[in-house]
Amino acid sequence: MTTSIAPRRAAATAAARRGTLIGWLFALPAIAVYSAFVIYPLIMGIQYSLYRWNGVGTSEWVGFANYLRVFTDPTLLGSIRNAFVLIAFFTIIPVSAGLVLATLIRTMRPGFMSSASQTILFLPQIIPLAAAGIAWSWMYAQTGAINQILEAIGLGFITRAWLGDFDTALPAVGLIGSWVLTGLCTVLFLTGIGKIDQSLYEAVRLDGASWWREFITITIPGLRQEIAVLVTITIIAALSSFDIIYTTTLGGPGRATLVPGISIFRIGFTQSEVGLASAFGIVLMVLVLACVLPIQRLARVRDR
């Protein structure tokens, strides 16, 4: 008995080694393209960020000076601030609106009406964000539909070119994000509510609980996984917004809607300060991680 184990084990190790080799070969193409077009540019970006370089001439080592500028230049700081303001519109509004909407329409029986609603709510998710920007620039125009509606309900005195006004441009752009993301949140929450044990709802109803109590004690806890997921993706969307702003305001008027994505584009390609733009890119990446990791951890801890 004991004698046969050793060769068998040796054969097994050889097979395992061959298996490992085949496995690595399977994974190789993916690792190669990922390393070539994500990891390599990332390392290059870190290298660029330590130099002053205009993209063509010679470069000069400046250490962390570019990072210092990101955190002291009022324009750049302003664009980071704007990105955080956008979280209110990209995350807080769509997630809370989605929660309320999903709760209100959860009672709807499945049928044509509910599947048609799902299709429509999803439309903004399908079209390019750049096209959403074009559609909304026209909504917000001086002669556009928003002002027309305001006139019609007697609020003609507040009409303006919403994207051209220093005070309203950022919220106006943010609301485009709310328009795009609310549908996604609602539909995801609806499927989430479907997975909650219906007898829980029956039970609180029999106890005579109010709509609000039911919402707080059953719906929200039941959806915490979905909430964590949506908060994560919408925060990433807010901090790295580019498409909508590019097609509506390009960061203007002045710097009222300047966000990190647009800043990087401008600094890197218009002002040709490659080092500074790269440093800002790295800062943006770290900002996103700093916002997303705690949410992931929170969701996991709550799950236990």
Total residues binding another protein (CB under 8 A): 101
Site string for another protein, 4-43 (x = CB under 8 A): ------------x--xx-xxx-xx-xxx-xxxxxxxxxx-
CB of 81 to another protein, least distance (A): 17
CB of 157 to another protein, least distance (A): 17
- Selected from 68, 104, 155, 220, the binder of another protein by CB under 8 A is 104
Residue of the chain from 44, 68, 220, 298 that contacts another protein (CB under 8 A): 44
Structure tokens at 266: 């401008």
Structure token digits, residue 11:
């054969």
> Of 1 and 126, which CB lies nearer to another protein in the complex structure?
126
Q: Cβ 25 to another protein, closest distance in Å?
A: 8
Min dist CB 256 to another protein, Å, is: 19
With both helix axes pointing from N to C terminus, report the angle between 93-105 and 169-195 in degrees, rounded to the nearest 10: 40
The residue behind tokens 């980071």 is 80
Binds another protein by CB under 8 A, chosen from 289, 294, 298, 300: 289
Residues 230-259 that bind another protein (CB under 8 A): 230, 233, 236, 239-240, 242-243, 246-247
- Residue 75 binds another protein (CB under 8 A): no
Instruction: Closer to another protein by CB, 11 or 44: give it.
Output: 44
Please, is 243 exposed, middle or buried when counting C-beta atoms within 10 Å of its C-beta (0-12, 13-18, 19+)? middle
Q: Looking only at residues 207 through 226 of this chain, which bind another protein when binding is defined by CB under 8 A? A: 211, 226
Which residue in 66, 79, 94 sits closest to 242, CA to CA? 79
- Residue 3 or residue 26: which is nearer to another protein going by CB? 26
The residue type of 110 is P
Minimal distance, residue 62 CB to another protein, in Å: 16
Angle between helix 129-140 and 145-152 (nearest 10):
40
Q: Classify residue 157 by its DSSP letter.
A: G
Considering only 165, 196, 265, 295, the residue that binds another protein (CB under 8 A) is: 265
**List 195, 205, 213, 300, residue binding another protein (CB under 8 A):** 205
Work out whether 298 is an interface residue with another protein (CB under 8 A): no
CB closer to another protein, 85 vs 236: 236
> Contact 49/59 with Cβ under 8 angstroms?
no
Q: Restricting to residues 125-184, name those near another protein by CB under 8 A.
A: 125-132, 134-136, 138-139, 141, 143-145, 147-149, 179, 182-184
Determine, following the binding rule CB under 8 A, whether residue 200 of this chain makes contact with another protein. Answer: no
Selected from 75, 119, 217, 271, the binder of another protein by CB under 8 A is 119
Does 84 participate in binding another protein (rule CB under 8 A)?
Answer: no
